[in-house]
């Protein structure tokens, strides 16, 4: 793992660690000082998705940025890809580091994991921010999976098929992952070739593709979990950020099914990958929310 291109200062502030939780190894990056803030990435990414906003956040918070189970440089177990289990990985990691109350930020699937964490450990989360993902439950009319009704969801059923997609995509990981980045971005060069290769490195590991697809294969388990947990809404402040050309303002609405105190903001000139397309605007939205007592 070499990240010289992120700069000497970055690599002095942030260090890489490994921890054993739930009988697997979880890789995480840690740095900064202050209250703990846990950042959870989505698919098809890793901790690296947060790279641009980490230095400023580290001035205010102790940052913990794990690679989710099966992804990045964490172990790739055969199962446990439902968000409740993945959230338990993160809870054990965080409490093992000595923190009993945290702030949470999650993008894409990381947002779903953040909700599972907050719902399972309601006294352990101070605030939560969700980046460009809708709340998943069985009432899909109120929980849109897509920013636009006309956009195809072909990859959901495709990636949920047991065993097949990894056979078809193996050796073509760069083409496949780049399709997501180009199709769901407004700023098409936000994820560079170097960035793409970092993500390809991880998803090309033996079992890496299957691990990513296993998050989709667990979606119905996640929906059942969310449906049950949302019977009692979260009381913590929740910020929902939607990329203007992705979920946009619609991102916040379904989360009102899960939490009482929901604020929504739109990140202008951004698609789904707002952390990389508009890192400064994303940071400008996150910091006031996270720093307000």
Q: Classify each residue of 29-63 as buried b or exposed e, where b means 16 or more C-beta atoms within 10 Å of its C-beta.
A: bbbbeebbbbbbbbbbbbbbbbbbbbbbbbeebbb
Among 67, 108, 195, 222, the active-site one is 108
Using CA atoms in the order 256, 257, 258, 263, what is the torsion angle rounded to 10 degrees? 0
To the query of whether residue 108 is one of the catalytic residues in this protein, the response is yes
Annotated active-site residue in 115, 203, 216, 273: 216
Q: Give the chain's count of helices (H) and strands (E).
A: 12, 8
**From CA 79, how far away is CA 69, in angstroms rounded?**
9
Question: What are φ and ψ of residue 5, in 5° steps?
Answer: -65, -15
Whether a cis peptide bond, with omega within 30° of 0, leads into 86 is no
Q: How far is CA 268 from CA 34, 99, 179, 181, 274, in A?
A: 29, 34, 22, 18, 9
CA proximity to 118, closest of 239, 217, 280, 283? 239
Annotated active-site residue 216? The verdict is yes
Q: Please, which residues bridge with residue 20 across strands?
A: 25
Residue pair 54/15 in contact by the 8 Å Cβ criterion: no
272 is catalytic: yes
In the chain, where does DSSP find H-type helix?
Answer: 8-13, 54-57, 83-96, 109-120, 155-160, 164-169, 173-183, 193-203, 208-217, 219-229, 274-277, 279-291
Residue from 88, 203, 272, 273 carrying the catalytic annotation: 272
Q: How far apart are CA 45 and CA 200, in angstroms?
A: 9
Report the distance separating Cα 282 and Cα 28, nearest Å: 22
Catalytic positions, please?
Answer: 108, 216, 272
């Amino acid at each position: 793992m070499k990240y010289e291109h992120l700069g000497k200062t970055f690599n002095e502030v942030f260090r890489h660690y490994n921890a054993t939780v739930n009988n697997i190894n979880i890789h995480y990056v840690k740095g900064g000082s202050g209250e703990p803030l846990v950042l959870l990435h989505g698919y098809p990414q890793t901790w690296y998705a947060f790279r641009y906003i980490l230095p400023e956040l580290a001035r205010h918070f102790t940052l913990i940025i794990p690679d989710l189970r099966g992804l990045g440089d964490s172990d790739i177990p055969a199962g446990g890809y439902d968000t409740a289990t993945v959230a338990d990985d993160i809870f054990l990691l965080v409490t093992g580091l000595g923190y009993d109350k945290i702030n949470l930020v999650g993008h894409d699937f990381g947002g779903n994991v953040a909700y599972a964490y907050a719902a399972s450990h309601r006294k352990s989360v101070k605030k939560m921010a969700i980046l460009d993902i809708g709340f998943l439950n069985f009432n899909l009319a109120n929980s849109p999976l897509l920013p636009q009704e006309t956009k195809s969801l072909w990859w959901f059923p495709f990636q949920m098929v047991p065993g097949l997609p990894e056979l078809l995509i193996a050796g073509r990981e760069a083409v496949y992952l780049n399709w997501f980045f180009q199709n769901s971005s407004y700023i098409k060069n936000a994820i560079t070739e170097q960035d793409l290769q970092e993500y390809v490195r991880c998803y090309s590991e033996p079992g890496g593709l299957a691990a990513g697809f296993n998050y989709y294969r667990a979606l119905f388990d996640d929906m059942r979990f969310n449906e049950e947990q949302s019977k009692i809404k979260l009381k913590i402040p929740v910020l929902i950020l939607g990329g203007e050309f992705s979920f946009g303002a619609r991102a916040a609405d379904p989360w009102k099914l899960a939490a009482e105190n929901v604020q929504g903001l739109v990140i202008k000139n951004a698609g789904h990958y707002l952390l990389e397309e508009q890192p400064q605007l994303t940071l400008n939205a996150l910091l006031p929310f996270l720093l307000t007592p």
